[in-house]
Amino acid sequence: MADIINPENEEDLQAQIEEVEALSSIYGDEWCVIDEASRIFCIKISNDSEESKLTACLQIILPLDYPSASPPIYQINAAWLRGSERARLANSLEDLYVEHTGESILYMWVEKIREFLVEKSQSSETVDLPGKVNMTTEEEEDDDDENIPDFSTFRLSTENAHLFMEHGSDEEIPPIKHGNTITDRRSTFQPHLAPVVTPRQVKMVLEKLYENKKIASATHNIYAYRIYCEDKNSFLQDCEDDGETAAGGRLLHLLQILDVRNVMVVVSRWYGGILLGPDRFKHINNCARNILVEEGYTASTDEASKSGAKTKRPKSKKTK
């Protein structure tokens, strides 16, 4: 269902139409309309180098009040982009938005990502690490496409998207719990959990986790979170694959099934060189479920079946 356009959003809508037309003209076939009514678009970006070609797909949702009040909601899909590099690129995009609040910024974002790709390809770092080739092979090997969620099903509540840009100095990093590892054919999975009540805390948790060299070096750091907005009686939720295609969506689906709230779960995977196929998704979700049970966010399978109890809902922990 398309959003109802209020009179105050008409200027924003007109600005969006003009921006989309301009981007379509500039980038041609690289620009793709996923859902025009819901204002969902994507663009394929490359560094234009034949020797070390890097590409990334930028998926975008334009909120009703973009560009006047909210930033675009975005997701960057690139198997080679993860860890501290992903965080660094995200920070640079957010900085651009802050510098140009109220302006149309998609062109600046696209060129910033392209500039990042060029710098990456020119650096001494190589993309052709042993694990990388196998990781891509595993993604291509998995034919379970029917379970890959559509990007449009994970839209944030756009009226709350601007909260990502708030930099409240009074917020503290939520306590982070680390769960037990699962190892299968040399691949290791470990869950991390933190209570969150604002998108700003989600970012803080990720930044704190990436300070740990071991976690930062993981092949993938998949995450999902759900925040309950009492005033709107709705959820603010999102997920990230970090290169493990569809893993973030499956993890978010687990949180939805368990009906947990005000919590973020991150699962780190260190790839061991042996393809796991669909088993990798089972391990990711089992890790997440285990730590949710351990921290009291949901009952174990045995307890739930014995008592018929519904999911436990911990009280939201307010930040100081």
d(CA 72, CA 111): 15
Q: What distances in angstroms separate CA 13 from CA 22, 39, 141, 159, one per listed residue?
A: 14, 10, 41, 15
The 3-class SS string of the chain reads CCCCCCHHHHHHHHHHHHHHHHHHHHHHHHEEEEECCCCEEEEEEECCCCCCCCEEEEEEECCCCCCCCCCCEEEEECCCCCHHHHHHHHHHHHHHHHHCCCCCCHHHHHHHHHHHHHHHHHCCCCCCCHHHHHHHHHHHHCCCHHHCCCHHHHCCCHHHHHHHHCCCCCCCCCCCEECCCEEECCEEEEEEEEECCCHHHHHHHHHHHHCCHHHHCCCEEEEEEEEEECCCCEEEEEEECCCCCCHHHHHHHHHHHHCCCCEEEEEEEECCCCCCCCHHHHHHHHHHHHHHHHCCCCCCHHHHHHHCCCCCCCCCCCCC
Of 1-10, 29-38, 279-288, the range with the lowest mean pLDDT is 1-10
Which of residues 2 and 57 earns the better pLDDT score? 57
CB count in 10 Å sphere of residue 111: 12
Which distant-in-sequence residues (6+ apart) come within 8 Å of 77 by Cβ?
A: 56, 57, 59, 241
Which of residues 307 and 88 earns the better pLDDT score? 88
Could you give phi then psi for residue 98, rounded to 5 degrees?
A: -60, -40
Which of residues 208 and 79 earns the better pLDDT score? 208
Which of residues 37 and 177 earns the better pLDDT score? 177
Task: Please tell me the pTM assigned to this model.
Answer: 0.50
Instruction: Compute the average pLDDT of residues 80-107.
Output: 86
- The answer to whether residue 153 scores a pLDDT higher than 60 is no
d(CA 311, CA 150): 26
Which of residues 197 and 312 earns the better pLDDT score? 197
The band of 122, judged by pLDDT with boundaries at 50, 70 and 90, is confident
Instruction: Compute the average pLDDT of residues 288-292.
Output: 94
